Homo-oligomer: A and B are copies of this chain.
Amino acid sequence: MPDSARPLPPAEDYLRQLSIDCVIFGYRDGKLFALVPKLVFEGDFWALPGGFIRQEEDIDAAARRILETRTGITNIYLEQFRVFGAAERTNRYLIEHLAALPADGPKGAEWIRANADWLAGRFVSIGYYALVDMRKVMPARTEIDASVDWYPVNELPPMIMDHNDIVAHARRTLQRYLDEKLIGYNLLPEKFTMKDLRYLYEAVYDRPFARNNFQKKILDLNVLERLEKKYSGGSHRAPYLYRFIRR
């Protein structure tokens, strides 16, 4: 039974005033994307996938649970990157819009209505970013999501609270670590060409990389193994496929 289908636990099961917000990065066609749900509330409300931490749960486990619920995949690469704790961080404005929802609306909305006082208060949020293979993700709506879509990170909708800010921080963190920690392969299928990897780097850093020098740099790291050639049918030399060597 997927997590989203289970009845929601009572509010007492969660740490009060502490939440998790996830920036789920994906990559396709030369662009970096983020997965952003749109809420069912009256008006246009977008919000990062998020959730709360159970009393007996590590914060990393909570982030993982939230991510797996939303993407349907396990073993996701994720890292905390910053805490957002301004005193005025609150969902009050959003929760007030609950009134506009019909009383027989989605069950999740019922849960929120029942816990409105709690949810409308101040929350400190831990930001996590995740890297996923977009092809493997089956975006899952919760009961209060109208839709869940991938948006290019350069064309994100205006989100609630400081969520656009959170994505900006996540992206800077990704830029800082993509090369240093060699985590880029998490955004690609298992097998990929050097061009795929280069275009990914160009999307993340928003700048070009010289084709030949990029290839040399990456190969000198000795973290890729060269596989068979990939015949695309194009009238040109076939590129090799590569795979990340797990250690």
Give the interface residue-count category, chain A: 20 to 34
Provide the A39-83 mask, 1 if CB < 8 A to any CB of B, else 0: 000000000000001011111110000000000000000001011
A36 touches B (CB below 8 Å)? no
Within 8 Å CB of A56, what residues of B? 87
A3 to chain B, nearest CB (A): 18
A18 touches B (CB below 8 Å)? yes
- How far does the alpha carbon of A82 sit from the alpha carbon of B128 in the complex, in Å? 11
Q: Are the CB atoms of A85 and B53 closer together than 8 Å?
A: yes
Within 8 Å CB of A57, what residues of B? 87
A126 touches B (CB below 8 Å)? yes
Cβ-defined partner of A83 (8 Å) among B55, B61, B83, B86:
B83
Shortest beta-carbon contacts, A-B, top 8: A59-B85, A58-B87, A15-B17, A16-B16, A58-B86, A83-B126, A56-B87, A57-B87
Given contacts A15-B16, A18-B124, 6 further A-B contacts (CB under 8 A): A15-B122, A55-B87, A58-B87, A59-B83, A60-B85, A83-B126
What are 26 contact pairs spanning A and B, CB under 8 A? A15-B16, A15-B18, A15-B122, A15-B124, A16-B16, A16-B17, A17-B18, A18-B18, A18-B124, A53-B85, A53-B124, A55-B87, A55-B122, A56-B87, A57-B87, A58-B85, A58-B86, A58-B87, A59-B83, A59-B86, A59-B124, A60-B85, A61-B87, A80-B82, A83-B126, A85-B126
